[in-house]
Chain A
Amino acid sequence: MENLKKHISMKSFFIFLTLLVVSVLAATCPLYLAPFTIISVTNVFIYVVITMSWALFSGPTRYISIATAAFFGMGIYTSALAGELIPFPLVVCLGGVVSFVLALLVGLSTLRLKGMYFTIFTFGLSELIRHAVLWWEVTKTGTVGRWVVSIDHTPVYYTMLIIFVVTLAVCYATGRSRYGLALKGIGQSEEAADHMGVNVTSVKIGVFALSAFFAGATGATMATRWTYIDPSIAFNPLFSFMPILMATFGGIASITGQIIGAVALTLLADLLLTEFPYYYMLIYGVILVIVILFLPGGIVGLGRSIKKL
């Protein structure tokens, strides 16, 4: 018993120490790293945040959302429209709120139905918005693209760091709250959860909208680095597919898995993108199929089963 206590306290001490070192490094790295590295790290944060926010809802409930690109794109357009009018931190929050409201509307219309209707609805959502925005820009404003107020890479890095920490905290807290348990219950048996007194529809809509907030805030932040956007950049369907792929690869069920998946595949993309643009998507497809067929728990699941041996 004594030994066990000692063991636990040693372990938590090490975790605390690692966290401390990581956060000091994360907070100070723009001071000594090259701008290129900072931009790469920011890029990793984007994918980590959209993967975690996707998995916050779709992980436990198994309601597969294919709408991340829509929320991300709404954030980008918020930044383009409001960037000159209000200060940058407000733009980021506004981007999140706009996506939150969109997700609320999507949830209200589809989440009372069976899971497949939700998936089907989200599947075309970003294409729908892209077409609508394109039509609006061409017929009403007369241009296709827009300029976004540019912001230096260091403030963007810190903003992404803050969004990452907040997303991590919210995902962690939700997973351990009664909402997290309710979501898990919905994923296992929606009817049973309903009978246990869970307000199934409002929990689903609430958490879905919350998860969209982070994707929207990320979009609003990143638009300032791209400076020029048009509907096909902002609503690129890849931003819907990537979180699904990354979370599945790392392990949907745990935050560690989601982060591992997002970091690994973003770095792989950085390596392959410039030289083999089509091969890297092909490799992603093969990875996804292999994980679904042979590694149901993703990388984290694989690690666990190796440990058991």
Chain B
Amino acid sequence: MSFTFYLDVVIGGLILGGLYALTAVGLSLQYGVARVLNVSHGEFIMLGAFATYSLYTLFGISPLLSLVITGPLIFIIAFLIHRTMFQRIRRTSPSIAAFEGNSLLASFGLLFIIQNIALLTWGSDIKGYHYMAQSINVFGTSYALNRLIALALALSTGIAFYLFLIYTRLGKAIRAAAQDRDTAQLMGVNIHKVLGLCFGLGALMAAIAGSLISMMFEITPTIGLPYTIIAIIAVVLGGLGNILGSLIGGLILGLVGNVVMCFSPALSLVAYYLIFILLILLKPSGIMGK
């Protein structure tokens, strides 16, 4: 148990936590602002991962470059899904609770559709590729270069998005819609556009996380569900609707998960759940909640 061991656990945890934070912020936008508890969130991660995989293995496009292609593409797909599907559910649902229930069921449908299209396209075999896998020495421990790049990208995306929320007009509109949708609308925020944008941005973050995941781990069309579960727990941990909270929640889960994984890899999900159970028993509003 030397210094390098602890450092190893922390850096490994941050890499995992960066990915979780990215997916959790994405889900937080979809649930906290657009009120869609999107259980197909993980499927967008899987789509991002497979798009990156295909672009790299078929056309030799670097995974880092393909972020610029797959990200916007998945953003547009998700935006259109919100515009058509969830907008209609919003119009036909009598109350916000009914909308939450119906949109949850609809996102189940999406989960089935996306996952099985992926199974038809890519098959159920485990896929993977090598990209920037050479090791780099950091304070006496070696890491694969792609992991460090994933950490840097995840954190910089998170920070860039946070700055976008704080400093831009659109970011302000999103924060206003998260706090009080009706009042935001009264103040002249185009709520339909903002909600669609939030859903699209959420999927965009999932897609980026998916691309990064494909650089580090092996992938199958069914990898999405565990990531969805972890993202949901991270969102609750940070407080429903609190975007910065989700980011911190994701990092905490990553660190905890990595510590548990050092002892027994199979138990990390159990550890997340224990945190979740303690949280809803003691402080259901989350660590950042009021």
Q: Is the CB of A124 within 8 A of B233?
A: yes
Known: A120-B37, A139-B264, A289-B85. A282 touches B106 (CB 8 A): no
A224 to chain B, nearest CB (A): 28
- Give chain B residues whose Cβ lies under 8 Å from the Cβ of A128: 269-270, 273
Within 8 A of B (CB), among A267-288: 278-279, 281-282, 284-288
Q: Is B165 an interface residue (CB 8 A)?
A: no
Q: Which residue of A lies closest to B35 (CB)?
A: A116
Q: Is B120 an interface residue (CB 8 A)?
A: yes
Within 8 A of B (CB), among A256-309: 278-279, 281-282, 284-289, 292-293, 296
Q: Which of B37, B89, B108 contacts A293 (CB 8 A)?
A: B89
Q: How far is the CA of A138 from the CA of B116 in the complex (A)?
A: 30
Q: How far is the CA of A263 from the CA of B50 in the complex (A)?
A: 36
- Give chain B residues whose Cβ lies under 8 Å from the Cβ of A226: none
Q: How far is the CA of A118 from the CA of B117 in the complex (A)?
A: 30
Within 8 A of B (CB), among A23-53: none
Within 8 A of B (CB), among A91-137: 109-110, 113, 115-117, 119-121, 123-124, 127-128, 131-132, 134-135
Q: How far is the CA of A113 from the CA of B240 in the complex (A)?
A: 13
Q: Is the CB of A131 within 8 A of B232?
A: no
Q: How far is the CA of A145 from the CA of B227 in the complex (A)?
A: 25
Q: Is the CB of A123 within 8 A of B232?
A: yes
Within 8 A of A (CB), among B235-290: 236, 240, 264, 266-267, 269-270, 273, 276-277, 280-281, 284
Q: Which of A119, A132, A293 contacts B85 (CB 8 A)?
A: A293
Q: Which of A62, A109, A293 contacts B98 (CB 8 A)?
A: A62
Known: A62-B98, A288-B106. A281 touches B115 (CB 8 A): yes
Q: Is A245 an interface residue (CB 8 A)?
A: yes
Q: Is the CB of B97 within 8 A of A62?
A: yes
Q: Which of B85, B88, B111, B280 contacts A121 (CB 8 A)?
A: B280
Q: Is A198 an interface residue (CB 8 A)?
A: no
Q: Which residue of A lies closest to B40 (CB)?
A: A285
A259 to chain B, nearest CB (A): 19
Q: Which residue of A lies closest to B284 (CB)?
A: A113
Q: How far is the CA of A245 from the CA of B89 in the complex (A)?
A: 17
Q: Is the CB of B270 within 8 A of A244?
A: no
Known: A120-B236, A131-B267. A282 touches B281 (CB 8 A): no
Q: Is A241 an interface residue (CB 8 A)?
A: yes
A113 to chain B, nearest CB (A): 5
Interface size class on chain B is 35 or more
Q: How far is the CA of A288 from the CA of B119 in the complex (A)?
A: 19
- Give chain B residues whose Cβ lies under 8 Å from the Cβ of A109: 277, 280-281
Q: Which of B110, B111, B232, B281 contacts A124 (CB 8 A)?
A: B232
Q: Is the CB of A281 within 8 A of B116?
A: yes
Q: Which residue of B lies closest to A66 (CB)?
A: B39
B20 to chain A, nearest CB (A): 14
- Give chain B residues whose Cβ lies under 8 Å from the Cβ of A279: 116, 120
Q: How far is the CA of A248 from the CA of B284 in the complex (A)?
A: 30
Q: How far is the CA of A127 from the CA of B273 in the complex (A)?
A: 10
Q: Is the CB of A131 within 8 A of B225?
A: no
- Give chain A residues whose Cβ lies under 8 Å from the Cβ of B116: 278-279, 281-282, 285
- Give chain B residues whose Cβ lies under 8 Å from the Cβ of A286: 109, 113
- Give chain A residues whose Cβ lies under 8 Å from the Cβ of B111: 285
Give per-residue flags for A8-20: 1 if the beta carbon is below 8 A from chain B beta carbons, else 0. 0000000000000
Q: How far is the CA of A119 from the CA of B101 in the complex (A)?
A: 10
**Could you list some 19 contacts between A and B, CB below 8 A?**
A62-B98, A64-B105, A109-B281, A113-B280, A116-B240, A120-B37, A120-B236, A124-B229, A124-B276, A278-B120, A284-B112, A285-B110, A285-B111, A285-B116, A289-B106, A289-B110, A289-B113, A296-B92, A296-B102
